[in-house]
Amino acid sequence: MFGINVEYKKQEGASYPIFNKNIKGKKVLAVCDVNTEKFFLPLLEEIKPIVDSIKFLKFDDEELVPDETAYGRMEQEVKGCDWILVAGSGTLNDLGKYVGAKCGVKNSTLATAPSMDGFISTVAAIMTGGKKVTLPAQSPSDILVDPEILAKAPAHMIGAGVGDILGKYNSVLDWRLANLKNGEPINEESIALTLKAVDDVLINMDKILEYNPQGMVYLMDALITSGYAMVIAGNSRPASGGEHHTSHYLEMDFVKKGLPVPLHGIKVGLGTLVCISIYRWLKDNDVKFTNSDKVYELVDKLPKEEEIISHLKRLNTPVTYTEIGVDKALLEEMLLNAYTVRERYTVLSLCKELDIMKDVVPMLVEKYL
């Protein structure tokens, strides 16, 4: 679909025959980090006889930051190559897509964890000047999926994948808010695909909780479906709203302080709780704005916060900010300023516009600190 080959590992013969055909005769830059190298080496041994050459780049960072240093290094190393192959999930996948697009080189990803839905999107979350920004990128030519590898991913990364999916409850509503209030165009096909991804995860939650290969296939399929929705929309709108802005705000703060960054999907799950609680507060207090009645009809269709908390708890995923090292001062700062992360209208933008976030903050701090 859309020229992207999503290929699950074959048990006999070539592991990924379509990918092997695509990469035959290419000069490959193979990129991994200390966490993904062990999953990468068997694939590199398999393709070695069919490619022209393999140049190996390993980042030694335990938690790689997609900043100027990282993508600058990849840009230097990719010279003389015509393909980027990465082993990883969020950060490495984004770097491959971003550098590939910037340098005019195709890229592919061996997925090592079902932790986020950006595998095939045409944007990348990159740090530049200490700020997390979403920049144009390219979809990978191939996403390679080995369910056995995914099943070995740390439990918190699987929880992050589910958290990213549950965030679509808010991202879709934020998009509809922008449409109803400001006339921003929406794409119903991409919204339908996004909500299908959510439904698929909830239907198969028990299997996902078994942390076995088949459960990981269900989760990965949903994450890829969400990625297709972004491709259809031409941007990340169906999958990223205020819940992502809170995540990015915190990530920038953690990076600035030199602290380990909690996984994106974990922060998104918390941001989803925050944003849905804001929508309910607005409705309960009958706050008026253009087409507010139509927005509140959609709010009534959202799951209760307690339902989302229940799903996250089953995955041993944090449901308070204290659990990820955020104190009251940082939480309040995030709530007041996360709308500045990017120019995208969300419930956070609405609160700024109406000057009511200061009224909402105490409720959110009490519930989620």
Does 2 score more than 70 pLDDT? Answer: no
What 3 state SS string does the chain have? CCCCEEEECCCCCCCCHHHHHHHCCCEEEEEEECCCHHHHHHHHHHHCCCCCEEEEEEECCCCCCCCHHHHHHHHHHCCCCCEEEEEECHHHHHHHHHHHHHHCCEEEEEECCCCCCCCCCCEEEEEECCEEEEEECCCCCEEEECHHHHHCCCHHHHHHHHHHHHCHHHHHHHHHHHHHHHCCCCCHHHHHHHHHHHHHHHHCHHHHCCCCHHHHHHHHHHHHHHHHHHHHHCCCHHHCCHHHHHHHHHHHHHHHCCCCCCCHHHHHHHHHHHHHHHHHHHHHCCCCCCCHHHHHHHHCCCCCHHHHHHHHHHCCCCCCCHHHCCCHHHHHHHHHHHHHHCCCCCHHHHHHHHCCHHHHHHHHHHHHC
Residue 130 has a pLDDT of 85
Residue 1 has a pLDDT of 56
pLDDT digits (tens, 9 = 90+) for 83-92: 999 999 999 9
- The stretch 13-24 carries a mean pLDDT of 96
Class level of CATH domain 155-368: mainly alpha
Q: Which fold has domain 5-151?
A: Rossmann fold (3.40.50)
pLDDT digits (tens, 9 = 90+) for 257-308: 999 999 999 999 999 999 999 999 999 999 999 999 999 999 999 999 999 9
pLDDT digits (tens, 9 = 90+) for 160-203: 999 999 999 999 999 999 999 999 999 999 999 999 999 999 99
Task: Give me the chain's average pLDDT, please.
Answer: 96
Q: Quickly state the pLDDT bin for 63 (edges 50, 70, 90).
A: confident
Every domain of the chain and the residues it spans:
5-151, 155-368
- The stretch 145-156 carries a mean pLDDT of 95
Does 145 score more than 80 pLDDT? Answer: yes
Residue 22 has a pLDDT of 97
- The stretch 74-100 carries a mean pLDDT of 97
User: What's the whole-model pTM score?
Assistant: 0.92
Q: Quickly state the pLDDT bin for 3 (edges 50, 70, 90).
A: confident
- The stretch 212-224 carries a mean pLDDT of 96
Residue 132 has a pLDDT of 85
Cα 170 to Cα 94, 173, 194, 257, 276: the distances in Å are 23, 5, 11, 29, 7
Provide the token pair at 165: 């999916």
